[in-house]
Amino acid sequence: MKHLDHFYIDGRFVPARDRPQRVVINPATEEPAGSIAMGTAKDVDTAVVAARKAFGTYGCSTREERLEMLRRVLALFDERAEEFAQLTTLEMGAPITFARQAQIAGSRAHIADTIRILEHYEFERLAGRTLLAFEPVGVCALITPWNFPVLQIVTKVMPALATGCTIVLKPSEYAPISPMLFAEVLHDACVPPGVFNLINGDGATVGEALSSHPDVDMVSFTGSTRAGVQVAKNAADTVKRVHQELGGNSANIVMPDVDLELAVTRGVLGAYRNAGQSCTAPTRMLVPRQLHEEAIGIAKQAAESVVIGDVNDEATMLGPVMNERQFERVNSLIESAVQEGAILVTGGPGRPSSLNRGFFVKPTVFGHVTKGMTVAREEMFGPVVSLIPYDSIDEAIEIANDTPYGLAAYLQSKDLGAAKRVASKLRAGQVMINHPAWDASAPFGGFKQSGNGRECGEFGFEAFLEVKAIGGLHEG
């Protein structure tokens, strides 16, 4: 049991035993994993004051000073990598192999990539006769989700620190244990007091206080589109910068020339990654009509090969969804698909028969799904794949774009030229052709209601910079 009866403010772990306590549930066992103190608007004020004061000095720090600090962070993160992985498994049920190889290894890659960018970034450059100075935005409120509890923090905190910003972080109240360990890493790395602050709490209290706070210069939010809209409304009165990475409903277009078994198997397993709890999950698989029945059989075999169960077993591939509410939501969407006429290929509502506890959802495949069905319209966030037949590439593109979201899309084809032409017509922030190797420096973000702004790589770095134009220094 991890009892987090404290916050991290102004370089200290501040006791908060008098605050309301919230139990953190292990979704694999439905048993308590720990508890946290829930912050208030007053706690937010205290943290923002500390961040504002620290910005006066830290905002003027040198590149070399920040690099030295971030290298200490990376070294300490590496020392505690296994602890991070174990806590991720404890608080969100990620299978331990996935926690190590994706959740934590991915986080490490983002830290290293931020260091790489900072080493070479030009904070001053000449454009004609005007000097462009890239300066830190200021005090940043960072609000992060539960599905990648450390990685999503790293993709915001590291570029903010690298650019000279100061931070108040609100991690998800559903997965707050590993974020506090990250605060310990920053503390041990001697991040100056007030530069990084952490307040646990919920969106209605801490999130709202942060996004509306007049002394916060920027809000970076990752979560649902519904919550993102509210964050933007809260921020509007003070005209602060708002970056959002929101929901998704990604299409995976299987083109007619593919190795069908490889493409469908990869697509199904990719959709089940992190129990389907990824906003980029390729949940809508678009297959040529003449290959649809064959694809159904392949998808069934792939889904039934997935090892589900003990999240501490290195062979386990699929863990639970995050909580009871998510379990009920995913099962409700599965039931709606059956009622609306989709063909249930494998899986279905309810917990797998081999398990008697935990928020586990059966690996599910639907065939003969149409674009108007609820399961094809809503963000799933569970281990469910819907196979949708199409008659032409133009129709596949139309179906793929027929969604309010635009975070990611996938293409499977042997003809890279054709795939590139299709990719140019997809309204999505990332298009992945033939499941390429993950790139930590690729900009991440969406079109339409999937948000605005970008994280990761140089674009994510520049999200935390303002541009100042200085004239008169270079007259020609």
Question: Terminus-to-terminus CA distance in the chain, angstroms?
Answer: 67
CB-based contacts of 32: which residues, under 8 Å, 6+ apart?
A: 1, 23, 24, 25, 26
Residues 20/9, Cβ–Cβ less than 8 Å? no
Return the ∠ at Cα 460 (arms to 454 and 466), rounded to 5°: 100
**Structure-token pair, residue 444:** 């991440």
In the β-sheet with 465-470, what is the strand arrangement from edge to edge? 124-127, 130-136, 465-470
Helix (H, G, I), strand (E, B) or coil at 60: coil
Query: Annotated catalytic, 245?
Result: yes
Q: Which residues of 38-75 are buried (b: 16+ CB within 10 A; e: fewer)?
A: bbbeebbebbbbbbbebbeebbeeeeeebeebbebbbe
Q: Are strands 124-127 and 130-136 parallel, antiparallel or unpaired?
A: antiparallel
Quick one: tokens of 73? 């962070």
CB atoms within 10 A of CB 145: 21
Q: In what order do the strands lie in the sheet with 31-37?
A: 2-4, 31-37, 21-26
Contact criterion met (CB below 8 Å) for 429 and 447: yes
471 three-state secondary structure = coil
Which entry of 279, 379, 455, 456 is annotated as an active-site residue?
279
Tokens of 6: 């404290």
Q: Is 380 exposed, middle or buried (0-12, 13-18, 19+ CB in 10 A)?
A: buried
Cβ atoms of 148 and 450 closer than 8 Å? no
Instruction: Assess whether 140 carries a catalytic annotation.
Output: no
Q: Which of 173, 208, 245, 379 is catalytic?
A: 245
SS3 state of residue 198: strand
Look at residue 317 and give its three-state secondary structure: coil
d(CA 264, CA 254): 8
Q: Let me know: does 297 contact 252? Beta carbons within 8 Å.
A: no
Q: Cite the active site residues.
A: 245, 279
